Homo-oligomer: A and B are copies of this chain.
């Protein structure tokens, strides 16, 4: 525990300022390098961290999955059943891959879904050394099974893992593991008889080292599970948001709001629960004394308004201050809107405040709003409650979302369910 001698070469003012980002860049660069080497034996080490430089430190390799099929296959629950006894219903199998600083990544296992065994001293149970991803597999109307942009989730998974001091890996290997799990469980759990349905995939990475010292874990477990999940994008009367209280800030500049780490979720539950008890669906998280709109619950937040000059704008918070999650749905919406709507709508990523939203409302310029994320897909927002005031937001002619909300939703759904052929929809080669 005693600090070693201070190397004189590192007294560099610039390094003092960006300790974190330089550490991440460092690790990512090493990772990119080792991915160029022969898979399975590239050294992903910087000699400083939990990646010890050893010739036998193995890379994550999805081509070598060990298959152990369940002997107790479970019944698929009826449509609409997502939990049994308050527990999420998962498919028959899961993928697990152990990692240690000493040996690197072990052989991936596809095995029966079941409990994990962790020592009470495991890092994840004390220090929140955990990150995850969420994406869906969609049973297309053409009968094919697709993942939606799994490359984006896999890359963000790596970024989150770096931020929370968990190991690095080649994102493409995680993508292959996702496809492998769906190849096995897809045919039964997302049957061809139920086109237009989806299943939720949850890649997770946790620090398992059973040591209480506060340090980057030298052992970890990556696992992927697939579960049922309710359709959440069409609540009756739309999603109602309560702005965040003064005494709770979700994320902050210099923090980790952009990473999908557990530490962003647990601390927000209290305010969310209180808001739900008051009849709202989610918190609209504001930032700073200016009250910048950042996220809606754990989703990105979009507004469509007319500017004072009369232009129609689709606006959402920017990524550059790293407060918000770089959502895959968010990114896809912006890409599609720029491609298909730019003649009629200006697409803007900038900081904007709750006051601007309220002013637009009072001047009749507020057109639409929606929350966007994998879980909520695109969910129209009908109301924002802020400091004793209700901002009612139009829900469109049909009452289930504004014009652009529904257009974007339709375009994305067409890609997800294979109504159009698009590179974002990655087809699973199913076993049966």
Residues of A bordering B, CB below 8 Å: 1-7, 10-13, 15-24, 48-50, 83, 86-88, 90, 94, 113, 115-121, 124-130, 132, 162-165, 200, 202, 204, 206-207, 209-216, 218-219, 223, 225, 227, 229-230, 232, 235-237, 239-240, 242-249, 252-256, 261-267, 269-281, 297-298, 375, 383, 385-388, 390
Contacts and interface: CB of A to CB of B under 8 A. Distances in A.
Contact of A17 (B119, B245, B383): B245
Given A6-B383, A263-B266, 9 more contacts: A1-B232, A3-B240, A6-B240, A6-B279, A15-B278, A16-B386, A87-B121, A124-B124, A261-B267
B265 A6 contact: no
A274 B1 contact: no
A116 B113 contact: no
Most B C-beta atoms less than 10 A away, residue of A24, A50, A118, A164: A118
Contacts of A225: 120-121
Contact of A19 (B204, B274, B388): B274
Count this chain's copies in the assembly: 2
A281 B2 contact: yes
A164 B267 contact: yes
A327 B368 CA distance: 48
A409 B243 CA distance: 47
A48 B267 contact: no
B267 A255 contact: yes
A246 B15 CA distance: 10
B388 A12 contact: yes
13 contacts: A2-B281, A3-B281, A6-B279, A13-B388, A17-B247, A18-B247, A20-B271, A21-B247, A118-B118, A120-B225, A215-B272, A246-B254, A248-B254
A24 B247 CA distance: 12
Contact of A252 (B132, B163, B252): B252
Nearest 6 CB-CB pairings of A with B: A128-B262, A19-B245, A249-B254, A263-B263, A6-B279, A127-B265
Contact of A261 (B132, B266, B387): B266
B120 A17 contact: no
A399 B255 CA distance: 37
Contacts of A1: 230, 232, 235, 281
Contacts of A274: 19-20, 22-23, 48-49
Contacts of A383: 6
Given A164-B266, A249-B255, A278-B6, A214 B298 contact: yes
B214 A200 contact: no
A432 to B, nearest CB: 25
B206 A125 contact: yes
Contacts of A20: 245, 247-248, 270-271, 274
